Amino acid sequence: MNAAKRLEIFRRLHEDNPEPKTELAYSSPFELLIAVILSAQSTDVGVNKATAKLYPVANTPEAIYALGVEGLSEYIKTIGLYNSKAKNVIETCRLLIERHGSEVPQTREALEALPGVGRKTANVVLNTAFRQLTMAVDTHIFRVSNRTGIARGKNVVEVEKQLMKFVPKQYLLDSHHWLILHGRYVCQARKPRCGSCRIEDLCEYKNKTSDD
Strand, helix or coil for residue 25: coil
Active site residue 174: no
Active site residue 138: yes
CA–centroid distance for 28 within its chain: 16
Q: Whole-angstrom Cα distance, residue 57 to residue 67?
A: 10
* 93 is known to lie in a ligand binding site: no
Cα four-point dihedral sign 97, 100, 103, 109: negative
Q: Which of 5, 49, 77, 120 is catalytic?
A: 120
The answer to whether the CB of 187 falls within 8 A of the CB of 148 is yes
* 187 is known to lie in a ligand binding site: yes
Q: Which of 5, 138, 165, 211 is catalytic?
A: 138
- Tell me the chain's radius of gyration from C-alpha atoms: 18
Cα four-point dihedral sign 106, 109, 114, 119: positive
* 203 is known to lie in a ligand binding site: yes
- Annotated binding residues for [4Fe-4S] cluster, as ranges? 187, 194, 197, 203
As annotated, the active-site residues are: 120, 138
User: What residues form the annotated binding site?
Assistant: 187, 194, 197, 203
